[in-house]
A = this chain, B = another copy of it.
Amino acid sequence: MIIVMKAGAAKKDKDEVIKRIKELGYQPHVIHGTTRDVIGAIGDERGKLALQSIESMPGVESVVPILQPYKLASKEVKKEPSVIRISDTVAIGGQEIIVMAGPCSVESEEQIIATAREVKEAGAHVLRGGAFKPRTSPYSFQGLEGEGLKLLAKAREVAGLPVVTEVITPETVDLVAEYADIIQIGARSAQNFALLKKVGQAGKPVLLKRGMSMTIQELLMSAEYILAEGNQEVILCERGIRTFETATRNTLDLSAIPVLKGKTHLPVVADPSHGTGNYHYVAPMAMAAVAAGADGLMIEVHPDPEHASSDGPQSLKPAKFAAMMTQLRRIALAADRRI
C-alpha cells in the first residue's frame, strides 16, 4: 500500500500514520515529495486487516493499493496455463477451443435431446442447458429444476456430451454436482460468496460467469473463493457487462480475455449469446472471441427460438449454429488453435 498524505499534513499526523502502519504489521517507508509526503507500507497486505482504514486518519489524502488482492488465481503463483479436464475427450485451457452449446432452459425431453444431437453433430463439445433459472421476474418460467437435471443426464447419455448447468443455491450444489460435468455460477450469483464456497467443495469443475458490473479484478477474487476451498478447476466466463449502450443487451468486453490471460492461469471462455442478447450478433462475436484468445465459447442453441421459454431472441437455430461452427474452425486455425 502507498499512503498519500495531504499537502502540508502536520508532522503529528504523519507520525500517527507511521505508528498505525507498524501496529498492523507492516514496515513504513517515507518518501518526502516536493508538495506532499508519500508513505509506503511494506509487507504482504493479503490476509491482514485492511490498511484501507488508514484513509480515515487525519492528514491522509488517499490510500493506494499496490498488490493484487488474489493469490491462487494469479500467474505469479502458477505460471503455466491450467488445463481442466471435463471428460475423457474434453479439456479446457489447451490448444483445442471448447464449444458449449444448447438451450437457455431445459424445456422437455424432446427439446433437450434433439438439441443435444444437433449441437454434437455440428461439433460442440459440451451440452449446456438450464434446470434452475434465475429470472428477473417471479412470474417468469423458473426452470424444470430436478426434473431438468434428469433430462440433461438423459441427453448426455444419448448424445455423448458432458453437461454444464447452473446452480443457484448452496443447498442444491450437491444435487447439481451429481448430474453436471461442469457446475455453472451465473452472472447474478458471481458474488454469492456462500455459493462460491460450496461449489469450491463440490469436486467438480466450475464455470464462473462475470457479474454484470464486476471488474476483472473482482471476478478473480470470486474465483479465489472457489480456489481457496481447494477446487483448482475454475473456468472464467466473460458474458457482457452493463453499460449505457442499449443496442445490445450487454456489452461483451472481449478485452477481458487478453487482460485475464495476462493475470491468471485459469482458462477463459466467452458467451456471445448473453453478451449481445441478439442472435444476429452471436456468430461475429464468437469469431472475435476466438481471435482474441478465448479457450472456449458458450452458445445458446434452440430448435424453435420463437417458442423458447427464455432467451429466444439470442438463440441460434441448429442450422445457423452448424454454419457458425464451420466459420469458427477456420478462425481457430488462423489463431493456431483448433475446434
Q: Which A positions have Cβ atoms within 8 angstroms of B?
A: 2, 4, 7, 20, 29, 31-36, 38, 40, 42-44, 46-47, 49-50, 52-57, 63-64, 66-67, 69-70, 76, 134-141, 168-171, 188-189, 191-194, 197, 211-213, 215-218, 221-222, 224-225, 228, 241-248, 251-259, 262, 275-276, 278-281, 284-285, 287-293, 305-310, 312-313, 315, 327, 330-331, 333-335
Q: Are A47 and B139 in contact (CB under 8 A)?
A: yes
Sample of 12 A–B contacts (CB below 8 Å): A4-B66, A7-B76, A31-B40, A52-B312, A56-B315, A188-B192, A212-B213, A215-B246, A216-B245, A243-B253, A255-B285, A291-B292
Q: Which residues of B contact A191 (CB under 8 A)?
A: 134, 136, 188
With CB as the reference atom, state the residue of chain B lying closest to A330.
Answer: B334
Q: Which residues of B contact A136 (CB under 8 A)?
A: 69, 191, 218, 221-222
Report how far A28 CA is from B141 CA in the complex, Å.
Answer: 23
With CB as the reference atom, state the residue of chain B lying closest to A54.
Answer: B306
Q: Give the shortest distance, in Å, between A300 (CB) and chain B (any CB).
A: 11
Q: Give the shortest distance, in Å, between A314 (CB) and chain B (any CB).
A: 9
Q: Which 5 interchain pairs have the tightest Cβ spacing?
A: A213-B213, A53-B312, A291-B291, A334-B334, A288-B292
Contacts known (A194-B168, A247-B217); A52 close to B313, Cβ less than 8 A? yes
Report how far A160 CA is from B36 CA in the complex, Å.
Answer: 47
Residue in B53, B66, B259, B333 whose beta carbon sits within 8 Å of that of A305 in the complex: B53
Report how far A247 CA is from B62 CA in the complex, Å.
Answer: 11
Q: Which residues of B contact A64 (CB under 8 A)?
A: 2, 64, 66
Q: Give the shortest distance, in Å, between A31 (CB) and chain B (any CB).
A: 4
Q: Are B134 and A55 in contact (CB under 8 A)?
A: no
16 additional contacts (CB under 8 A) given A188-B192, A211-B213 = A31-B31, A34-B42, A38-B66, A49-B141, A53-B308, A53-B312, A56-B308, A136-B218, A138-B197, A138-B221, A138-B225, A247-B255, A251-B253, A254-B254, A259-B281, A284-B292
Q: Are A245 and B252 in contact (CB under 8 A)?
A: no
Q: Which residues of B contact A253 (CB under 8 A)?
A: 243, 245, 251
With CB as the reference atom, state the residue of chain B lying closest to A139.
Answer: B47
Contacts known (A44-B35, A136-B191, A221-B136); A251 close to B243, Cβ less than 8 A? yes
Q: Which residues of B contact A63 (CB under 8 A)?
A: 313
Q: Which residues of B contact A29 (CB under 8 A)?
A: 31
Report how far A20 CA is from B42 CA in the complex, Å.
Answer: 24
Q: Give the shortest distance, in Å, between A133 (CB) and chain B (any CB).
A: 9
Q: Are A50 and B188 in contact (CB under 8 A)?
A: no
Q: Give the shortest distance, in Å, between A142 (CB) and chain B (any CB).
A: 8
Residue in B134, B169, B221, B242 whose beta carbon sits within 8 Å of that of A213 in the complex: B242
Q: Which residues of B contact A293 (CB under 8 A)?
A: 284
Contacts known (A258-B281, A334-B331); A169 close to B168, Cβ less than 8 A? no
Report how far A288 CA is from B254 CA in the complex, Å.
Answer: 8
